[in-house]
Structure formats: C-alpha cells, structure tokens
C-alpha cells in the first residue's frame, strides 16, 4: 500500500481524494496534507471528510508523514520547488498542470530528473483522456486520414467560468504567468499528444478586455465579501465558506482589480517539429462554454465540438446549470465526399470522464505506458511561455531552449 501525501489543499485535489477513498483505498492511503494556509486545510479536510495530520512545514511533513508519493496542487509558481525537493528525496510525484510557469523552472526540473531518473513522476494532464478526444486520437493514429496538414483549436470560457479565473490568485502573473500556462497547457499537451510532436515556434497576441481596471465597470473593490458595493454589484460572488475557512485567501477577489495583469483573450500560430502548422485561441468572456478542434488531413477532416449553453444567472456557481450542449465528433472523407458521425462513449464523471480515466492509470497496481510524463508537462509549459513572450515582445519566439535539444 502506497502512502500518499497531499501538497496543497486545493479544490482540484479534492477529485483525487474522492477517487482514492472510493476506488483505491485497498492499495493506497492518504497519510497527510501540507499547505501554507491552516484555515484552508481545515475546510478542505472537513469538506472531503479526510482525517489526516496537517502541516505547514515541508520538512516536517516529509519527516513525519514519510509519503511514498505526493500530489502537488499548490499555487502554480511553487510546483517546481516542491517537485524538485520531492524528487531529491526519492518521493514519487503527481504534479497538477501547469507543471511550472517558466523556462527557468523547467530547467530546474530537468536537472532534478537527471539526478533521480528512477523516481516515478507525471504531470496531471487529464484532458487528453476525454472520450471524444481519445476517439479522435485513435482515428489519427490509425492512418485512415493520412498525415495531418493543419490543426485549429479554440477554447471558450463563458462569462461565468471565465470570471472565476479573475477572482482567484491565478489572475496575477507572478503566480501563474497567465492563462497561457494555467489553462492552456492542457490544450498544448493535447496538441502535442495528438500530433506525436512538440512546438518549435510560436507567434501570439492577446489582450485584457473584459476584466481588470481598464474594462468597463461601475463598481470596484478588493474582495466581494467585504466590499461596500456587494448589495448592488452584478458581479458579486459568494464563495464556498465551508471549503475556504481561511484568513489568508478567499477566491472572491474583484474581477476589476488594477492588480490583474494577465490576458483574457489571446491567440497563437504554432509550428510543430513535424511540420504541422496550428492555430490556437482562448477567450475567457464568451457567451457559451466549450471547445472545438478541427484537424485537416490528407484524405479527410475531423471536427470535434464540445459546447455548453448554460444558465449564467446562477451567480454563486462557477459552472452553472447546463441547458443545452453539443457533443460531437465528425469525420469528413474527401475521397467519398461524405461524412460520418463518430460515436462517443457516454462516460460519467468530472471533466466528461477524463478524471476517472486518469486516476485509473495513476493509481493502478500496474501503470500503463501512456501517462503524461514530466517531459510532456515541460513541453506544454514551454509552448505557453513562448506565447507569453511573443505577446510581450510582438515577435516570433522559438519554443525549445538549447538545453532541451538532447531530450
């Protein structure tokens, strides 16, 4: 039985905890939790019904809990610090995306991997396991449509979900380096996985349009729960006080704060090592939620749609009630002139079943070979960093640093 420690009392790791308790309790046990915020740990453990020791000191956590594996879900900018420290202690690691937030942190992680090549470590890129995307991957890998010529990826965060990113710590670049890292590394990993390649060059542009101090707004404060405008502001948000029993941080920061310094709308043209040219865009203030992926091949085209039209009047929810959704995968064959709607397995669970598919791989007694490695996580981060740099400079940016050439 593996002893698993939690580094970070985040809402994201709650899904891991629930899976471990429900499906893997006979082979794994959660031995402790560490976070810089005692109140957040308290609320997290109460909500998740988790009775384990709490720690605010990393050395004490490692020394007393003696975890054999850790799940790292702290603030993005700290992932590399905890990952490298655990690798050097020979502790297996699962790291939530993004793996880290800079090329310098990627180099630190790469050096730690060289020192500890025998230690198991993966990046938690669950999005590659969604049923529709897995079907798309099977078709591409079969060679039925020939080689890929072009790919288009569009991600849309509706006004409810999009705002949630700007209420939280990740809206400050020092913590996350922007949605290009915090959100889009999921999608960059998908593209690399689909193409069996990695990005080599990026040119991008982006803006902060709907949030931050320059966006049109009538009311402004620091946090919703203590704001003098909370009774009249249409963007007032009630956070989960059971989960966040914290004196240090609450996820209800003002979405019009002048401290917000990341983009809410950006796009990139990406050239991959195998010659494929792709386009990618993300907008965090759209009228509906979802994504579309179009893959143009020699003999046909794949079109994936995962779109949700939701009730955005539910102000106290991140996701709201689903009203209508479009969930489809279509293959168009050029030679026959017809099309085929590909059946998508109906799988329940968070993130359209992608979470359960990842957990089944991570916590199996014998792990499969298709888990997203630390190198996969690094490649997604390097693509995001190149996009950020291109937006900042207005220039085309090479993705691969010199030290990655031997990978």
What tens-digit pLDDT sequence spans the chain (407 residues)? Answer: 799 999 999 988 999 999 999 999 899 999 999 999 999 999 999 999 999 999 999 999 999 999 999 999 999 999 999 999 999 999 999 999 999 999 999 999 999 999 999 999 999 999 999 999 999 999 999 999 999 999 999 999 999 899 999 999 999 999 999 999 999 999 999 999 999 999 999 999 999 999 999 999 999 999 999 999 999 999 999 999 999 999 899 999 999 999 999 999 999 999 999 999 999 999 999 998 999 999 999 999 999 999 888 765 555 455 555 566 788 999 999 877 789 999 998 766 666 678 888 999 999 888 888 899 999 999 999 999 999 999 999 999 999 999 986 55
- Strand boundaries in 342-381, DSSP class E: none
Structure tokens at 394: 């207005």
How many residues does this entry show for the chain? 407
Structure tokens at 367: 């792990």
CA 76 to CA 89: how far, in whole Å? 21
User: Which residues are within 8 A (CB) of 365 and not within 5 positions of it... i.e. 6 or more apart?
Assistant: 27
Global pTM?
0.94
């Amino acid at each position: 039985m593996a002893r698993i420690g939690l580094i970070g009392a985040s809402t994201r790791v709650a899904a891991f905890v629930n899976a471990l308790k429900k499906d893997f309790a006979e082979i794994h046990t959660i031995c402790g939790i560490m976070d810089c915020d005692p109140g957040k740990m308290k609320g997290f453990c109460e909500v998740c019904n988790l009775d384990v020791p709490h720690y605010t000191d990393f050395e004490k956590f490692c020394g007393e809990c003696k975890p054999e594996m850790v799940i790292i879900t702290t603030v993005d900018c700290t992932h590399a610090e905890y990952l490298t420290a655990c690798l050097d202690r020979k502790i297996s690691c699962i790291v939530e995306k993004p793996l880290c937030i800079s090329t310098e942190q990627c180099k630190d992680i790469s050096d730690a991997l060289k020192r500890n090549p025998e230690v198991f470590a993966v990046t938690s890129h669950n999005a590659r396991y969604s049923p529709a995307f897995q079907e798309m991957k099977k078709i591409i890998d079969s060679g039925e449509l020939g080689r890929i010529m072009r790919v288009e990826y569009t991600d849309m965060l509706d006004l409810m979900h999009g705002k949630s990113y700007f209420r939280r710590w990740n809206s400050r670049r020092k913590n996350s380096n922007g949605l290009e890292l915090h959100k889009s590394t999921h999608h960059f990993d998908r593209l690399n996985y689909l193409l069996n390649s990695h990005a080599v060059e990026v040119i991008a542009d982006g803006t902060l349009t709907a949030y931050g101090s320059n966006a049109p707004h009538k009311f402004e404060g620091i946090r919703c729960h203590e704001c003098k405008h909370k009774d009249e502001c249409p963007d007032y948000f009630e956070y989960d006080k059971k989960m966040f029993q914290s004196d240090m941080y609450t996820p209800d920061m003002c979405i019009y704060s002048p401290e917000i310094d990341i983009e809410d709308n950006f796009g990139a043209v990406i050239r991959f090592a195998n010659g494929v040219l792709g386009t990618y865009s993300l907008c965090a203030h759209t009228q509906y939620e979802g994504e579309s992926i179009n893959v143009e091949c020699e003999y046909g085209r794949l079109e994936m749609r995962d779109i949700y039209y939701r009730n955005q009047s539910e102000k106290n929810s991140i996701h709201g009630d689903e009203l209508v959704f479009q969930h489809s995968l279509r293959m168009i064959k050029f030679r026959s002139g017809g099309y085929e709607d590909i059946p998508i397995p109906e799988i329940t669970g968070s993130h359209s079943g992608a979470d359960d598919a990842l957990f089944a791989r991570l916590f199996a007694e014998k792990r499969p070979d298709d888990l997203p490695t630390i190198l996969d996580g690094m490649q997604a981060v390097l693509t995001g960093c190149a996009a950020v740099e291109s937006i900042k400079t207005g220039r085309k940016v090479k993705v691969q640093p010199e030290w990655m050439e031997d990978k």
